[in-house]
Structure 1
Amino acid sequence: MEIMTSIFFADSNPKIRKLKNNKSYPVQPKSGLSLVKRGTSKYFEGRMRFPFNASGKKESVKIGVFEKEILVEDAIHKWNEIKVWSKNNNKNPKLFGKVQNASGKTFKEVANEYMDEVYVHRVKEETFNDRKNKINQVLRYIGDEMLIADLQRDRRGRPYCKKMLKTVFPHAPVQLTRVRQLMSWIFGYAEREEYIQQDQNPLYIKFDWETGTKRRVSEKTFADTITSKSWGMLPKFLKTVNANECNGSVVTDLATKAHLLMCIRSAVIVCLEWDWYDPEEDQWVIPPECKGLKNKREQLESGSCEKHIIPSTPEINQLMKKLKAETGWQKYCFPSLGGQKNPHLGESTINNHFRNLGWKGKQTAHQWRSVITTLGIERSDLDYEVIDRQLGRKGHLNGTRGHYDRSTLLEKRKEFMKWWSKSLIQEGLII
C-alpha cells in the first residue's frame, strides 16, 4: 500500500471524511500515528518500536475505526497514552488495555455508589428520586453485570450509550439530555475514584441531537411580540384566561391568575399555604424548602438558604379573598381536586390550563417568566435586577459577589409588584 508522508491531519475530521485514495496518512509528524484507508474503511493505527532500541521490532496497534469508534482528537490522545504506558512499563504496546487491572466494578455498583453517597446531598429529595428512577431504567437496559470499564470511550462506550439512551427514552428529548448529563457525572466520579482510566468518560461531550426543545419558527411566544410600544399578544391571552372556555375549575382558574400576578414559578404557586401570608407586612413568605425555589439539598441542610418574599398588592389580595371563600378552611391555598398523590394542585396544572385555553406551542407557564422580564424592562422604569430577584433567581449569589451581597431590594420589588399587578388589570385581566 502506498505511503503518503506530507499531510498533517490534526483537527481535520471533515477532511478525513473526503479521503478517496487507499493510503496511509500520517496524523501527526513523527508521532507514529496514521489514518489508514482501505476500501470503505478508515481506521487509526499507531506504530512504534519495541523494545525501545534500534533492533526493536516495529509493532502496529489498531486504535479504532474513524467515526464509528473514535475521532482524530481522541485517537491522538489514546496513542500518546499507549506510548507512555508502553515505555513506563516496558511492555509491548499491543498489550495496552489487556494487562491493566480493571477495577472489577460494574456500572450498577458505581452508579448506586455515586447516587447514594454524592448526588443525594446535592439535590432535593424529589429530584433525587426522579433521577434514581431514570438510572434504574438505564440499568434495565445495561444489566447488572456490565463492567463500567467496558463502557469507556476507547471501548466503544459512546456509541453503546447513545443507542441505549435513544432506546430507553425514544420520545423524550429533555429526558435524554438529563440522563446523559447524569451518566456523565457518574463516569466522572468513576474517573476520580480510578474505576476507569482518565479521560475515558464516554458521555462528557454532548450528542449532536442535544439542541434543546425546538420551537416552530412561525409560532412566537408572548415575549417575542413585546416592544417598548406594544404589549404584544398579552391582551389576547388575558381574554382567553378570563373566558375560561375550557371550563377549568375555580381553583385552577384562580391558580392561573395567581401565577400571572405573583411573579414566581408555578411550582411555588400550587403549593402555597394560607399560613405563609404575613398580614402585618402584607406579603407572602415562602420557606426555603419550597420546591419551586430550586434550592439545593446541601444548601438547605447547611441553613444557607433565605426565605423568598412575594410582596402582595391590592389585586393579589382581591384574588386571595375570592379564593379563601373556596379553600380558606384547608391548609393549601390550591388544594388537590381529588385522586391525586399531592395534597395540592400538581406542578403541571397551570401549564396544562394554558394548553387547554388554546396556547399549546405558543406559551407555557414557565415562559411567563420571560414575559414578566421583557415587559418589566421595556415598560417599567425598574432595573433588570429588581425583576430578576422577584422572579426568585439567584444570580447575585454566584462568584465573589455572592460572598458579600446580602441585599434584598425589597422596597424596589414592592414597587415593581404594584406596577405589574396594575398593568395586568389595565390590559384586561379580570379577577
Structure 2
Amino acid sequence: MSKPLTDAQIRALPAIPKGGKKTSDPCGNGLRIVNEPVVGNVPCRRFIHPYSQKLPNGVRKQQELPLGTYGKGGGRLTLLQARQKVLAFKEWRKGIGLDAHHDQWLALNRPKDTLSAPTLKQVCDAWLTSPSRQKKAPSTQKECQRHLENHVLKVISADLPIKDLEWDSGDASGGRQLVRQVREVIDARNSHDMANRVIRTLGQVCDYAIEKGWMTRGQNPCTISPDDRALHQPKGNPTLSEQQVPQFFKDLSDYSKGQFDLVAIALKMHLLLCTRPGALVAIEWSWIDEQDSLITIPGNTPGLKRPADQNNIDHLIPLSDPTLEILDLLKKINGKRKHVFHSQRGKEFSHLNPSALNNFLKEQLALKGVLTAQGWRDVVQTVAQDVLKYPWEVPDRQLGHLPHKKGVRGHYDNSERLDERRDFMRDWSNWCIDQGLIIP
C-alpha cells in the first residue's frame, strides 16, 4: 500500500495536462487527493473521502465525500484541515449509523447564511459540485463551468442574492432583464448557439436553487423563446460528394510527395478508420491487437464523446490490410512510444493535437469551408449505403454511434456486428484506394 502523501509531496504533484488521466493518492485516515487535468493553467487537486454506505437492503454501496480543493484561503483546504474534516465526518457517522449519506453531513455543516441567502456565485459553485453534476462527463462539467464563469458572471454580479434573479424580482421583470442582458452580450458576437447553451446552463442552476428552496418555484428567468432559437442557423460540417473524393485524394498525395508527415499519415488513417479525430490521435499501441486485426478504444477516451452513462462501452475498429500497412510504418517511427501518433512538439498532449487534422485540411490542402475531419464521416455513411450497399446500422456502428443502446432495447442489445464491420472496413478501404488514396 502506498504511503500517505505529505503536504510537500502534494504541492510537488505534477500538473496533469488537458486530456490526461487523473490520479488518486492516499493522504492518511481514508483521505485521498485527486489530481485532475488542468483547467486553463490552474492545477486541479481536490480532497475526497471514499467510504461504504450500508443501504436498507443490506447491500454496501461505495460513496465519495467531496471535501474541497487543495490550497490556502478562498475556501480551499490545507492537508490538516482536510484530515480534520474526515475525522469529523467519521465521528458523525458513528452516531448516525453506517446508512448515513454524506449529503446529510454537508447540509448540517453548511454555513447558515449560505443556506438562507446564497449569492449567485455560491449557488453556481454548489450546483457544479453537486452529486448529480459529478456524474456528468468531465468535458460537460468544464463546459458548464466556462458558461458560468466566462459569460454569466461577467454580466451579472457574483454577489447578487439568488432571490434577486427571480423573474419578478426588482422593477418589472428584474431577473428576466438580467438574463436578457447575458443573452444580448453573446448575441452581439453572433454566437447565437452559444447564447442558447449559456442560458440553458444558467436555467439548470436556477432549477437547482428552486429545489434547495433558495428561489421560488415558477420564478426561473431562463426561458428560450422561439425567436431566440430562430437566431441560430444550424450548419452541418462541410463535406464532399462522392465525385469530389478522387481530387481530394490526389491533392493529399501531391502534398505528401513520398515524404513522411505524421499529420498527413494520421489523416489517411482517419479516412480509413471512420472514427472521430480526437479518438484517433489518442490511440495507444496497447489498444491494438494485430493478431485479431482489431483496435479497442476504451469507452472513456475523451475523443469518443460518449455520454457519461455509456463511457463503459469500448469502441472496436476492425483493421483492413491498408491500415495494417500504415501501422507498420508508424511502428518504425513511434513503436517505442505510448501513442501511435506521438508528437514531440505537443505541449498540451503527448500525441497529436485533436485539431491537427482540421488545421491540415485548412492550411495545407486549402479546404477551409469545404471539408472538415468530422465532415468526412458524412462521406463514410453515404458511400457505405449508396455505393457499397450496406445497411445504415453497419457504418453507423463503425462511426462510434450507439443508437442500439437507447431505450428498453439498450438494456439487452450488446451486439457488436463485428463480422459485418470487418467486411465493411475491407470494402471501404478498397473503395478509398480505387478512388486514388495512396497507401501509406
Residue pair 2:317, 2:398 contacting (<8 A) in 1 also: yes
* Alpha-carbon distance in structure 2 between the residues aligned to 1:417 and 1:430: 17
Amino acid corresponding to residue 250 of structure 2 in structure 1: K
Residue pair 1:248, 1:353 contacting (<8 A) in 2 also: no
Q: Which of the residues 306, 312, 325 maps onto 1:318?
A: 325
* Residue 341 to residue 258, structure 1, CA distance change in 2 (3 Å): same
Asked if residue 360 in structure 1 is aligned to residue 368 in structure 2, the reply is: yes
Alignment of 1:255-404 (within 5 A): 255-297=266-308, 299-300=310-311, 305-356=312-363, 357-404=365-412
Amino acid corresponding to residue 380 of structure 2 in structure 1: I
* Alpha-carbon distance in structure 1 between the residues aligned to 2:131 and 2:296: 31
Asked if residue 233 in structure 1 is aligned to residue 251 in structure 2, the reply is: no
Per-residue CA distance 1:293-312 (angstroms, 9 max, x = gap): 22334555xxxx22111000
Alignment of 1:120-131 (within 5 A): 120-131=133-144
Aligned twin of 1:38: none
Question: What is the Cα deviation at residue 320 of structure 1?
Answer: 1.2
Asked if residue 205 in structure 1 is aligned to residue 224 in structure 2, the reply is: yes
Aligned twin of 1:133: 146
Residue pair 1:121, 1:298 contacting (<8 A) in 2 also: no
Aligned twin of 1:108: 121
Question: What is the Cα deviation at residue 181 of structure 1?
Answer: 2.4
Q: SS of the residue aligned with 1:405?
A: coil
Question: What is the Cα deviation at residue 268 of structure 1?
Answer: 0.6
Mean Cα deviation higher: 386-395 or 131-140? 131-140
Aligned twin of 1:13: none
**Percent identity over paired residues:** 30
* Residue 122 to residue 369, structure 1, CA distance change in 2 (3 Å): farther
* Residue 201 to residue 407, structure 1, CA distance change in 2 (3 Å): same
* Alpha-carbon distance in structure 1 between the residues aligned to 2:179 and 2:342: 42
* Alpha-carbon distance in structure 2 between the residues aligned to 1:335 and 1:388: 28
Q: TM-score, normalised by structure 1?
A: 0.67
Aligned twin of 2:196: 177
Q: SS of the residue aligned with 1:285?
A: strand
Superposition RMSD in Å: 2.7
Unpaired runs of 5+ residues, structure 2, are: 1-114
* Alpha-carbon distance in structure 2 between the residues aligned to 1:145 and 1:122: 28
Per-residue CA distance 1:244-271 (angstroms, 9 max, x = gap): 2799971111111111110110111010
How many residue pairs align between the two structures? Answer: 316
Q: If you compute each CA radius of gyration, which structure gives the higher value, 1 or 2?
A: 1
Residue pair 1:173, 1:213 contacting (<8 A) in 2 also: no
* Alpha-carbon distance in structure 1 between the residues aligned to 2:255 and 2:176: 49
Residue pair 1:252, 1:349 contacting (<8 A) in 2 also: yes
* Alpha-carbon distance in structure 1 between the residues aligned to 2:116 and 2:385: 55
* Residue 240 to residue 124, structure 1, CA distance change in 2 (3 Å): same
Alignment of 1:210-221 (within 5 A): 210-214=231-235, 221=239
Q: TM-score, normalised by structure 2?
A: 0.66
Residue pair 2:283, 2:340 contacting (<8 A) in 1 also: yes
Aligned twin of 1:25: none
* Alpha-carbon distance in structure 1 between the residues aligned to 2:229 and 2:258: 42
Amino acid corresponding to residue 136 of structure 1 in structure 2: E
* Residue 212 to residue 201, structure 1, CA distance change in 2 (3 Å): farther
Q: Which of the residues 118, 140, 153 maps onto 2:167?
A: 153
* Alpha-carbon distance in structure 2 between the residues aligned to 1:374 and 1:274: 31
Q: SS of the residue aligned with 1:233?
A: helix
Q: SS of the residue aligned with 2:129?
A: helix
Aligned twin of 1:195: 214
* Alpha-carbon distance in structure 1 between the residues aligned to 2:179 and 2:260: 44
Q: SS of the residue aligned with 1:358?
A: coil
* Residue 142 to residue 259, structure 1, CA distance change in 2 (3 Å): same
Amino acid corresponding to residue 284 of structure 1 in structure 2: I
Residue pair 1:273, 1:331 contacting (<8 A) in 2 also: yes
